[in-house]
Amino acid sequence: MDRIKEILKRLISINTTNLPGNEMDAVNEILKFFPQDIEYKIVDHGNNRGSLVIEIEGKNRDKIGFIGHIDTVPVSDEVSWIHPPFDGVIEDGYMYGRGTSDMKGGVTAMILTALYFIENNITPPHTLKFVFTADEESGGLGVRTLRDKELLQDISKVFIAEPSDEQIGICEKGTLWLSIHIKGKSSHGSKPELGINAIEKLYEYINKLKNTLDLEKKHPLLGNSSYATTTINGGVKTNIIPENANATLDIRTIPGFNHEEIINNANRIAKDMEIENQGMTIDVEIDNNRPPLTMDEEDNFIKEIISVYEKLSYQVKLKGINFYTDASQLIPYHNIPFVILGPGEENMCHQKNERIKIESIERMTKFYISYIVSC
Ligand SMILES: [Zn+2]
């Protein structure tokens, strides 16, 4: 437990809030926990940003991957935290700090899992690849670069060590962020018929797109898809028909939804409305596009995990993850079995007074090691 606290505290003390990230500082800190002769590769993304891959050769060349991101979301309202967000204060068995749950706790479990084999001089049955990524909380630069450099393609199954409440995360929601820009035509407020009201057209557009989605459809672990208008602006004055209006949409999808289809509908509705309103233009931009993912419950990987859980007398519970993870940048390109499974609570992510139960990291480290030696 002391070792967990020491590693996590050191990771928390390194500010990797994204942007700017500065993940290279965390990469260098992680390497300090390891002997110098380990096999590793640093990928430099520039601007003090980097990702790290540590490999431990096993008896079998089949590779088990572990992925954990080392960036965190920013801290707002630092003074109102009950403990300073970069101090790693422990109280009642919890460590407080930005990134404790999301996901330096999971990164700590990965480090301890790797060290178990290195320090005890145990050759694992399979080769292990520990991947520490930059920029998961934003564009996913880390995992995309590693993927494009073909540093991940030899992994045959992967643990995403994100906080899953210690449950077995077999699916995650997709995310599609769109920006909509409408340019209409201004006119005097007393003569709206001479203009094209961009704000009213924007509402119309938002509702039309929403109506193409089956938001009633339910997934057993993830519930419904959702469609939210998250920012909106436009107009200049009470007595002027607005020429410009912009909105951003945050669409979250359950497995079965096809993002290409949503994007096609978004573009088609824009075209149709432009034809109906001569002189108006609608631009649709895609700001983030990560598909929903799901694993078959009957997949061997999931069955192996369940059997190790049972051996450890951990409670077996399958879970759907509501947020996106690095898996969304990997699995669509490299279709391997995956699971989202790590210490910490999902509902602590991105929260003020983020914390993690130290014991949770211990339990998940024990699980990772047990899985590796027995599967
Ligand atoms: Zn995360």
- 346 C-alpha to ligand 1 centroid (Å): 9
Asked if residue 375 has pLDDT above 90, the reply is: no
Question: 209: pLDDT confidence band, cut at 50, 70 and 90?
Answer: very high
Asked if residue 151 has pLDDT above 80, the reply is: yes
Question: 189: pLDDT confidence band, cut at 50, 70 and 90?
Answer: very high
Q: Percentage of residues in the chain with pLDDT exceeding 70?
A: 100
- 109 C-alpha to ligand 1 centroid (Å): 14
Give residue 196's pLDDT: 98
Name the segment(s) of the chain with CATH classification 3.40.630.10: 2-172+292-374
- 68 C-alpha to ligand 1 centroid (Å): 8
Asked if residue 322 has pLDDT above 90, the reply is: yes
- 136 C-alpha to ligand 1 centroid (Å): 7
Mean pLDDT for 165-187 is: 98
Name the CATH topology of 174-290: Alpha-Beta Plaits (3.30.70)
- 137 C-alpha to ligand 1 centroid (Å): 7
Task: Please tell me the distance from the alpha carbon of residue 198 to that of residue 243, in angstroms, as a whole number.
Answer: 5
- 370 C-alpha to ligand 1 centroid (Å): 24
Asked if residue 330 has pLDDT above 80, the reply is: yes
Condensed to tens digits (0 to 9), the pLDDT of residues 33-69 reads 999 999 999 999 999 999 999 999 999 878 999 999 9
Give residue 1's pLDDT: 82
- Please give the helix or strand (H or E) that residue 248 lies within, else none: strand 244-253
Contacts of range 231-234, beta carbons closer than 8 Å, 24 or more positions apart: 232/202, 234/182, 234/198, 234/199, 234/202
- 340 C-alpha to ligand 1 centroid (Å): 10
Q: Percentage of residues in the chain with pLDDT exceeding 90?
A: 98
- 162 C-alpha to ligand 1 centroid (Å): 6
Mean pLDDT for 160-188 is: 98
Task: Please tell me the distance from the alpha carbon of residue 113 to that of residue 110, in angstroms, as a whole number.
Answer: 5
- 287 C-alpha to ligand 1 centroid (Å): 19
Give residue 55's pLDDT: 97
- 375 C-alpha to ligand 1 centroid (Å): 26
Mean pLDDT for 278-283 is: 97
At 268, list the tokens. 């088609």
Stronger pLDDT, 196 or 1, i.e. the higher one = 196
Are the C-beta atoms of residues 183 and 293 closer than 8 Å to each other?
Answer: no
15 contacts: CB under 8 Å, gap ≥ 6? 22, 25, 86, 98
Mean pLDDT for 305-333 is: 96
Give residue 63's pLDDT: 96
Supply the DSSP symbol for 1.
-
- 203 C-alpha to ligand 1 centroid (Å): 33
Mean pLDDT for 207-213 is: 98
- 244 C-alpha to ligand 1 centroid (Å): 36
- 103 C-alpha to ligand 1 centroid (Å): 5
Helix ranges (H only) for 232-316 are 259-276, 300-311
Please report where in the chains the tokens 């009470």 appear, as a residue: 238
- 238 C-alpha to ligand 1 centroid (Å): 43
- 192 C-alpha to ligand 1 centroid (Å): 48
Condensed to tens digits (0 to 9), the pLDDT of residues 2-12 reads 999 999 999 99
Condensed to tens digits (0 to 9), the pLDDT of residues 341-374 reads 999 999 999 999 999 999 999 999 999 999 999 9
Asked if residue 297 has pLDDT above 80, the reply is: yes
Name the segment(s) of the chain with CATH classification 3.30.70.360: 174-290
Give residue 69's pLDDT: 98
CATH of domain 2-172+292-374: 3.40.630.10
Share the mean pLDDT of the chain.
97
Question: 192: pLDDT confidence band, cut at 50, 70 and 90?
Answer: very high
- 19 C-alpha to ligand 1 centroid (Å): 15
- 194 C-alpha to ligand 1 centroid (Å): 50
